[in-house]
Amino acid sequence: MWLSNSSVGRKVVMSVTGVALILFLTFHMAMNLVSLFSAEGYNMVCEFLGANWYALAATVILAALFVIHIIYAFWLTMQNRQARGNERYAVTDRPKTVEWASQNMLVLGLIVIVGLGLHLFHFWSKMQLPELMHNMGASVDPMTLSYAADGVFHIENTFASVANVVLYLVWLGALWFHLTHGFWSAMQTLGWNNKVWLNRWKCISNIYTSIVVACFALVIIVFFIKSLI
């Protein structure tokens, strides 16, 4: 199959799944901003996105996109290393035209994966998962279940810790580098690869990613400051 047998096809899969994940991040960022203005409104969103069939379907689709993105990322990395052969061990200067993020996409991706695991532990495992287990007939602590849709409670608890704040900000930093390169690279793979549009996409990716990451960071910092007052 072209999407798996050719290098170009694998890059297309990487690009399409990456763009889909960026769209999800944008939605997640917009949802998180609600918590800064209305705790009740944010919790209503969390309740709407609980263990309902549409939320679970979206979760499965997102998980599949993420897994496919990771698999193809490792696949392409291994392919590129094999193509370079012994050249990768040679001591050479990095080309000035190659960005730092491009040289370290795999490492940045691994940091993003670890950060995602931390995020799932702090939020998904305490919100949607208990509701899902309860709906499946499993025994769930009533206190845990009562706070499953209280997103603000979990944000306050998570970001009252300095360690969590630092870890999440490091995660967001890695995410920024990963997305700024990945965004325009995806556009290039999907056909916008002439000199004019490539430069435009680089500019758009920097601005867009900066806004998304800054909004995530704003929520973290605001709730941390609130915990100190």
Instruction: Give the CA count within 13 Å in the CB-facing half-sphere of 140.
Output: 21
**Tell me: the pLDDT tens digits for 106-144?**
788 889 999 999 999 999 999 999 999 998 989 999 999
Round to whole Å and give the CA distance between 130 and 141: 9
Contact 193, 10 (CB under 8 A): no
- Show the tokens assigned to 60: 């499965």
The pLDDT value given to residue 97: 43
The DSSP symbol for 149 reads T
**Domains by residue range for the chain, with CATH:** 2-82+105-228 (1.20.1300)
Side chain identity, residue 212? V
- From first to last of its 229 residues, the chain has per-residue pLDDT tens of 555 667 777 788 888 999 999 999 999 999 999 999 999 999 999 999 888 888 899 999 999 999 998 888 888 777 776 766 545 444 444 444 446 666 777 788 889 999 999 999 999 999 999 999 998 989 999 999 999 999 999 999 999 999 999 999 999 999 999 898 888 888 888 877 777 788 888 899 999 999 999 999 999 999 999 999 8
Count of residues in the chain: 229
Q: What are φ and ψ of residue 74, in 5° steps?
A: -65, -40
Radius of gyration of the chain (CA): 20
